[in-house]
Amino acid sequence: MLSVASSGIAVLLLPFGKTAHSMFKIAIDADETSTCPISKPSKLAQLIRETSLIIWDEAPITHGYTVEAVERSVQDLCNQNQIFGGKMTIFGGDFRQILHVVTKGNRADMVASSISRATFGSYCNIQHLRTNMRLMHSNLSDNEHGRLRSFAEWTLNVGNGRV
């Protein structure tokens, strides 16, 4: 399993995690034809070929071209013409949070360049997590439980545009 995140802060929560840019050697200025400069005989290429699962946290803040560059590279390294070289890939994150910035772009430009519009998007199976696991801890006091529930409801209302 390879665990990566789009931000250095999110990586701190992943055991043995790395940023996606560090793990896959992604170019800063990726475009619609970019690939990652990973040579096939390298140890990193071997690691990618041997892994069966890629978990990418905070994926919504990543530009779609960046994710597509990784997808093309993994296909090439694995000699597989399947999405992500046939590797199960899980993108985590909240699409209601901040998208990546498009220089001199507007909201429509940012949405159009997000991973939700990536070329492999039609192959994705979207799952929604609906249970706040922090509220499931039985060792919480009634006061702590109430405060967490209230905060969880407030953040959902902000994310859904109600606040």
Instruction: Identify which of 58, 149, 43, 134 has the alpha carbon closest to the alpha carbon of residue 96.
Output: 58
Work out the mean pLDDT of the chain and round it to a whole number. Answer: 91
Which residue range is the domain that position 64 belongs to? 2-127
Question: What per-residue confidence (pLDDT) applies to 136?
Answer: 80
Same structural domain, 114 and 143: no
pLDDT at 86 over 80: yes
Same structural domain, 74 and 27: yes
E strand segments, the chain: 2-5, 18-19, 53-57, 88-91
Question: What per-residue confidence (pLDDT) applies to 53?
Answer: 96
Question: What per-residue confidence (pLDDT) applies to 126?
Answer: 86
Q: Give percent of the chain with pLDDT exceeding 70.
A: 100
Same structural domain, 141 and 84: no
Q: What would the mean pLDDT of 31-46 be, rounded to a whole number?
A: 97
- Segment 40-52, tens digit of pLDDT: 999 999 999 999 9
Same structural domain, 103 and 44: yes
Q: Give 3-state DSSP helix, strand, coil % of the chain, rounded to 5.
A: 45, 10, 45
Structural domain count, the chain: 2
Same structural domain, 123 and 151: no
CATH number at residue 87: 3.40.50
pLDDT at 58 over 80: yes
- Segment of 12-16, 70-74, 98-102, 142-146 carrying the highest mean pLDDT: 70-74
The pTM assigned to this predicted structure is 0.84
Same structural domain, 114 and 38: yes
- Segment 128-159, tens digit of pLDDT: 888 877 778 778 899 998 998 899 889 888 87
- Using CB atoms within 10 A of its CB, is residue 100 exposed (0-12), middle (13-18) or buried (19+)? middle
Question: What per-residue confidence (pLDDT) applies to 159?
Answer: 79
Same structural domain, 137 and 75: no
Same structural domain, 45 and 106: yes
Same structural domain, 134 and 122: no
